């Protein structure tokens, strides 16, 4: 028996009988209720029209909620774009390596509302300031075995860090940092260092979050540092 024979064998009475035996059918298939035409008479037969209206209201509320979420995300993204742009402009105005690294840390602390910013540079320079937020490792990646895989991947890393990474980056403040973002600076085959941003909020940075703006910040910082040749 083919599909046409099966369809022809089902009568309207059988469909009605099936629906009577399964009164929750429209609950499982609410989209079907929107395609049915209810009778115009008053009384109990108008309940389907009410049901259709309820379904439409629910859908409108859900669409409204999703629209609000999209607008909020768009506003947040616009603010992030403005902050990244401001960081770009401020770094372009800096004429020294020391001024550039100070501007990076100050800008991130202000824009991300965090005290926990660490810049690791794989180069030494007599111009660099002595600060708790700056870690200089002129021996390069081989001297940082705990970050070897991170440098190999070259991708932003978000979430909770292992204790050895936290201790190296944040020292006495390691216990206060419950989530972090790590950004590799420079090319994978020519790394300049890394940028670490920590938060006391365990949900601030997590593995599932978007990293586009973090990557833009990393590229901006790397470009600013690369402007100044290493002086040993």
What does the pLDDT look like over 60-117, one tens digit per residue?
888 888 888 888 878 877 887 888 888 888 888 999 999 999 999 998 888 777 889 9
Average pLDDT of the residues in 16-31: 80
Greater pLDDT, 214 or 9: 214
The DSSP call for residue 209 is S
| Contacts for 53-60: CB closer than 8 Å, 24+ residues apart | 55/30
* pTM for the whole structure: 0.68
What are the tokens at 228?
């100044």
Task: Check whether 176 has a pLDDT greater than 80.
Answer: yes
Is residue 39 very low, low, confident or very high in pLDDT (cuts 50, 70, 90)? low
> Can you tell me the distance from the alpha carbon of 206 to that of 93, in angstroms, rounded to the nearest whole number?
33
> Can you tell me the distance from the alpha carbon of 177 to that of 20, in angstroms, rounded to the nearest whole number?
61
Q: What is the pLDDT of residues 95-105, one digit of tens each?
A: 999 999 999 99
Q: What pLDDT, on the 0 to 100 scale, is given for residue 112?
A: 75
- How far CA 25 is from CA of 22, 53, 197, in Å, comes to 6, 17, 53
- Look at residues 143, 141, 134 and name the one whose alpha carbon lies nearest to residue 104: 134
Q: Are the CB atoms for 196 and 202 separated by under 8 Å?
A: no
**Nearby residues of 201 by Cβ (< 8 Å), 6 or more positions away:** 178, 179
- How far CA 29 is from CA of 24, 32, 40, 62, 183, in Å, comes to 9, 6, 23, 17, 47
């Amino acid at each position: 028996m083919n599909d046409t024979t099966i369809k022809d064998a089902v009568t309207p009475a059988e469909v009605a009988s099936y629906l009577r035996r399964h009164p929750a059918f429209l609950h499982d298939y609410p989209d079907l209720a929107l395609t049915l035409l209810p009778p115009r008479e008053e009384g109990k037969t108008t309940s389907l029209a009410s049901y259709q209206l309820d379904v439409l209201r629910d859908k409108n509320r859900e669409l409204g909620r999703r629209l609000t979420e999209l607008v909020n995300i768009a506003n947040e993204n616009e603010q992030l774009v403005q902050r990244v742009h401001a960081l770009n402009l401020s770094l372009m105005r800096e004429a020294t390596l020391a001024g550039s690294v100070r501007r990076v840390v100050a800008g991130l602390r202000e824009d991300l509302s965090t005290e926990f910013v660490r810049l690791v540079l794989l180069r030494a320079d007599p111009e660099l300031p002595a600060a708790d937020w700056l870690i200089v490792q002129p021996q390069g990646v081989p001297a940082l075995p705990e970050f070897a895989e991170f440098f190999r991947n070259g991708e932003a890393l978000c979430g909770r860090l292992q204790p050895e990474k936290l201790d190296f980056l944040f020292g006495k403040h390691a216990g206060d940092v419950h989530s972090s973002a790590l950004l590799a600076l420079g090319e994978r085959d020519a790394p300049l260092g890394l940028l670490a941003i920590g938060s006391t909020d365990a949900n601030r940075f997590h593995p599932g979050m978007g990293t586009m703006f973090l990557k833009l910040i990393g590229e901006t910082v790397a470009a600013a540092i690369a402007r100044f040749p290493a002086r040993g």
